[in-house]
Amino acid sequence: MDKLVIEGGPSLKGELKVSGSKNATLPILAATLLTDDVCVIRNSPKLRDTMTMVKLLRSLGKTVDIGKDELIISSKGDIQHIADYKLVSTMRGSFCVLGPLLGKLGKAKVSLPGGCVIGLRPVDLHIKGVKALGATVEVEGGYVIVKARHLKGNSVYLGGGFGSSVLATANVMMAAVLARGETTIESAACEPEITDLADFLIAMGAKIKGKGTPQIIITGVKKLHGADFKISSDRIEAGTFLILAVAMRSNLVIREANFNHLLSLIDRLEETGVRFEKDYNLIKVKCPKILKPASVTTFPYPGFPTDLQAQFMALMALTPGVSVITDKVYPDRFMHIAELSRMGANIRREGSNAIIEGVKQLHGAPVMASDLRASAALVIAGLAAKGKTEIHRIYHLERGYENLDEKLIQIGAKISREKE
């Protein structure tokens, strides 16, 4: 197992290129189960999570060839309907094979993904959605077992206690595209990743209206064909790079970033005094020497992403004044507070709120990554800190950031990998 060793302090200069979206890639790969034809998925990021999904597809009977910048998925023989615990338990996103397996085969047996360190994330909305389409559902031995002789279109409301569910929306969409009749998803997730999935399904021959809105209407078709599709850029990686630039007071250029997908973050960063220039898929960061604090509340898209909460906290820990971060999506997603505090941050938690009093300087320390986005926050803090920071358990980081250390080295960061 590797660790990252960071020498904080050096200024950063140059450009960072954003990779393809992890959160779009996973359901799109799952959607290839809906056809026997060849699908080519371009701009898929080379990540631990991507490879987990590839392994799951292969275990279900798909053939996956990995190219330089694309994945080629085809079928040779029958597709299996059982998604094994050993793979699904390692990555919650793999639960999105439930919908396409049910739609294509009329049955699926998928392991429950369980909770994780950022809090319990149940699958009740997934179950509610497929039941509305006419499937019977049993939960037995740690598996969700769904069956339907014929799926039938219906109206389904997918709003939950913390807003709409991205994965539940994806699962219901993928089940509904081969159902009989029309399906209307109310309170559908509006995230760009759902729009990407809808675009891929449409390229395969699906009939979908309302992508990117809270109401998605799907008219079932008899069969889907293969498609050649390019994944959009990763808005969370792009947001992480913007926050990093501000934390380092560096006027970096971020390439392959969609400005419109980052409006909630850009609004908060502008509150601190940062200015931006945009040009097609390029964003230039203009940092002042002194920042002002800004408070944030996370919400489902287009609100401030919970997946940028930890990174923004690292920035506010270095910003003079008091800021408050409230997570309305995952109220328990604050494991990084303890590790940032080890580096000298002044943060206290009150329920779903974190109150941050900015300090002049963070100091390098050995820290432990608790989850994917907390890992990115610790990288930002380590680069901005004085002295050496060691980040342990970086396999979390590798789940969602493609070659992050190599990208940062190219813009002047002093960062290296070492064996534990």
Calculate the dihedral angle through the C-alpha atoms of 234, 238, 239, 245, rounding to the nearest 10 degrees: 160
Determine the residue type at 248.
M
- Residue whose tokens read 């047996």: 109
CA 399/CA 160 separation, integer angstroms: 26
Please list the active-site residues. Answer: 116
* Residues 83 and 110 sit within 8 Å (Cβ to Cβ): yes
CA 62/CA 241 separation, integer angstroms: 35
Rg (the chain; Cα; Å): 21
With CA atoms as reference, report the closest residue to 195 among 23, 73, 373: 23
With CA atoms as reference, report the closest residue to 27 among 155, 199, 146: 199
Residue 388, token pair as written in the block = 């050496």
End-to-end CA distance of the chain: 6
DSSP β-ladder status, 346-350 and 414-419: unpaired
DSSP β-ladder status, 353-357 and 346-350: antiparallel
CA 376/CA 384 separation, integer angstroms: 13
- Residue 82, classed as helix, strand or coil, is strand
CA atoms within 13 A on the CB side of 215: 4
Please report, for residues 131, 168, 320, the alpha-carbon distance to residue 215 in angstroms, rounded to integers and kept in the order given.
19, 14, 42
- Residue whose tokens read 């793999």: 94
CA 286/CA 239 separation, integer angstroms: 15
* Residues 192 and 21 sit within 8 Å (Cβ to Cβ): yes
CA 117/CA 299 separation, integer angstroms: 19
